[in-house]
């Protein structure tokens, strides 16, 4: 049975629902007519996703009596530039978008981040909804209201917090997602279990492969749990003053790997898989049992994610350079996320040298 699962994100007057239901894409129009008190939709999507699902979305909006226009941006992180953001503003102005307009992001995390930043800033903020179409975006990126574009100097350097009014997830769209993208998305699912949900981790140890194989129940369960973890954390710390940073488990080194490889070469989930292995090993120092390190590494390995870091001096030089630019440093310190046990993470301050354990003396 394809029952709907709804996860609330509790943020006072910015609260919203994450709705997960196979086949729900074609119902988007009718729910939007109820949820958003605006009359016109501007759909932001990417070339590939627009070709696959654009018509279903616009037909659904039309059936619900919502007028819409569509803005198509490039696939992947090429969409996340100031030039693309500027193009969106041009298009919004040209089609007379006003405060009765809302944006609908239909695509992966890149489209969501771009459209969200446009929604956060156009007319000082218009409503928006997320229709994520990758596993990574459904399990993680679409929830929590972080939006951004990249700067040549670094990823996500220009952004804003702007919560969507609704996150509408149709897991069936994952059928057209390349296998490598599915595996990459699994890394965020594993991450949420590792930092917060030991039962989910145990479930993954039994059922993990069923998710990238797109078993309907397993996908729904994995999405529901990952989203619930993120919703709970964001509900307690919307703007990352504290525990929201736990969601960055594996991301400090992960981002450095992405930057060092030139963005796009290594997928986000692949990089954070390596970052999680690194952070799990480091967590031995604060008491994570060796057995739990092994459990994390073998789960990632089983999912076809990389677990062996390129460990040459040249590589560490590149990671060091990338880490030196990390925007999350405060007073020169990194806040690395470490584990006491599976399901219990904490923030631990360390210097760049401690982080790299003296590898590649500069």
What is the contact surface with ligand NAD in residues (CB under 6 A)? Answer: 46, 48-49, 52, 75-77, 80, 107-111, 113, 133-134, 136-137, 140-141, 144, 146, 155-156, 173, 176-177, 181, 268
Q: Please state the closest distance from residue 318 (CB atom) to ligand NAD, in A.
A: 20
Which residue in 224, 248, 270, 295 is the catalytic one? Answer: 248
User: What tokens appear for 71 in the block?
Assistant: 């803005």
**Angle between helix 251-260 and helix 313-324 axes, rounded to 10 deg:** 110
Which residue in 255, 282, 295, 320 is the catalytic one? Answer: 255
Q: Which one, 174 or 288, has the nearer CB to ligand NAD?
A: 174
Which residue in 251, 282, 295, 320 is the catalytic one? Answer: 251
Q: Are 38 and 101 in contact (CB under 8 A)?
A: yes
**Catalytic-residue membership of 5:** no
**Catalytic-residue membership of 181:** no
Q: Are 186 and 212 in contact (CB under 8 A)?
A: yes
Q: Which one, 264 or 313, has the nearer CB to ligand NAD?
A: 264
**Catalytic-residue membership of 146:** yes
Which residue in 34, 124, 175, 330 is the catalytic one? Answer: 124
Which residue in 21, 188, 258, 270 is the catalytic one? Answer: 188
SS3 156: strand
User: What tokens appear for 287 in the block?
Assistant: 């008491």
Q: Please state the closest distance from residue 73 (CB atom) to ligand NAD, in A.
A: 10
From CA 239, how far away is CA 236, in angstroms rounded?
A: 9
- DSSP code at position 155: E
Which has the closest alpha carbon to 57: 173, 148, 224? 173
User: What tokens appear for 315 in the block?
Assistant: 């590589």
From CA 40, how far away is CA 153, in angstroms rounded?
A: 36
**Catalytic-residue membership of 124:** yes
Which residue in 240, 301, 346, 354 is the catalytic one? Answer: 240
From CA 52, how far away is CA 329, in angstroms rounded?
A: 40
**Catalytic-residue membership of 230:** yes
Pairing outcome for strands 128-132 and 101-107? parallel
**Catalytic-residue membership of 346:** no
Q: Please state the closest distance from residue 137 (CB atom) to ligand NAD, in A.
A: 4
Q: Please state the closest distance from residue 72 (CB atom) to ligand NAD, in A.
A: 11
**Catalytic-residue membership of 268:** yes
**Catalytic-residue membership of 221:** no
Q: Which one, 112 or 293, has the nearer CB to ligand NAD?
A: 112
Q: Which one, 112 or 127, has the nearer CB to ligand NAD?
A: 112
Write the CA distances from 248 to 119, 186, 231, 235, 251, integer angstroms: 25, 15, 15, 16, 5
Q: Which one, 29 or 107, has the nearer CB to ligand NAD?
A: 107
Q: Please state the closest distance from residue 300 (CB atom) to ligand NAD, in A.
A: 17
From CA 201, how far away is CA 189, in angstroms rounded?
A: 9
SS3 192: helix
Q: Please state the closest distance from residue 98 (CB atom) to ligand NAD, in A.
A: 26
**Catalytic-residue membership of 99:** no
Q: Which one, 255 or 295, has the nearer CB to ligand NAD?
A: 255
Q: Please state the closest distance from residue 130 (CB atom) to ligand NAD, in A.
A: 10
Which residue in 80, 155, 183, 268 is the catalytic one? Answer: 268
Q: Which one, 2 or 353, has the nearer CB to ligand NAD?
A: 2
**Catalytic-residue membership of 328:** no
**b/e per residue, 113-151, with b = 16+ CB within 10 A?**
bbbbbbbbbbeeebbbbbbbbbbbbbbbbbbbbbbbbbe
Q: Which residues are catalytic?
A: 124, 146, 188, 230, 240, 244, 248, 251, 255, 268
């Amino acid at each position: 049975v394809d029952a709907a699962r709804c996860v609330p994100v509790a943020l006072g007057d910015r609260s919203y629902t994450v709705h997960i239901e196979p086949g729900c894409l074609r119902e988007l129009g009718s729910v939007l007519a109820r949820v958003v008190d605006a009359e016109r939709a501007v759909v932001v999507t990417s070339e590939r996703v627009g070709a696959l699902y654009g018509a279903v979305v616009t037909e659904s909006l039309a059936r619900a009596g919502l007028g819409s226009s569509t803005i198509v941006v490039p696939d992947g992180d090429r969409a996340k530039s100031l030039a693309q953001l500027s193009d969106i503003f041009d298009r919004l102005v040209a089609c007379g978008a006003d405060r009765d307009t809302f944006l609908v992001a239909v695509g992966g995390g890149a489209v969501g981040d771009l459209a969200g930043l446009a929604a956060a800033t156009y007319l000082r903020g218009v409503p928006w909804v997320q229709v994520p179409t990758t596993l990574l975006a459904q399990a993680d990126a679409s929830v929590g209201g972080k939006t951004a574009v990249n700067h040549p100097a670094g990823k996500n350097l220009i952004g804003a917090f702007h919560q969507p009014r609704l996150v509408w997830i149709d897991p069936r769209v994952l059928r057209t997602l390349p296998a490598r993208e599915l595996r990459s998305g699994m890394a965020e699912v594993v991450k949420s279990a590792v930092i917060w949900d030991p039962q989910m981790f145990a479930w993954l140890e039994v059922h993990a492969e069923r998710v990238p194989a797109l078993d309907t129940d397993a996908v729904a369960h994995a999405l529901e749990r990952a989203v619930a973890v993120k919703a709970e954390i964001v509900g307690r710390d919307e703007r990352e003053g504290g525990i929201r940073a736990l969601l960055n488990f594996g991301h400090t080194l992960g981002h450095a790997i992405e930057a060092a490889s030139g963005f796009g070469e290594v997928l986000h989930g692949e990089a954070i898989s390596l970052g999680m292995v690194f952070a799990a090993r480091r967590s031995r120092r604060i008491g994570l049992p060796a057995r739990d390190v092994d459990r994390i590494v073998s789960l990632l390995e089983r999912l076809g994610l990389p677990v062996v870091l390129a460990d040459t001096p040249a590589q560490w030089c590149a990671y060091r350079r990338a880490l030196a630019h990390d925007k999350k440093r405060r007073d020169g310190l990194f806040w690395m996320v470490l584990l006491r046990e599976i399901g219990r993470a904490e923030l631990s301050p360390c210097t760049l040298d401690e982080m790299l354990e003296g590898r590649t003396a500069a």
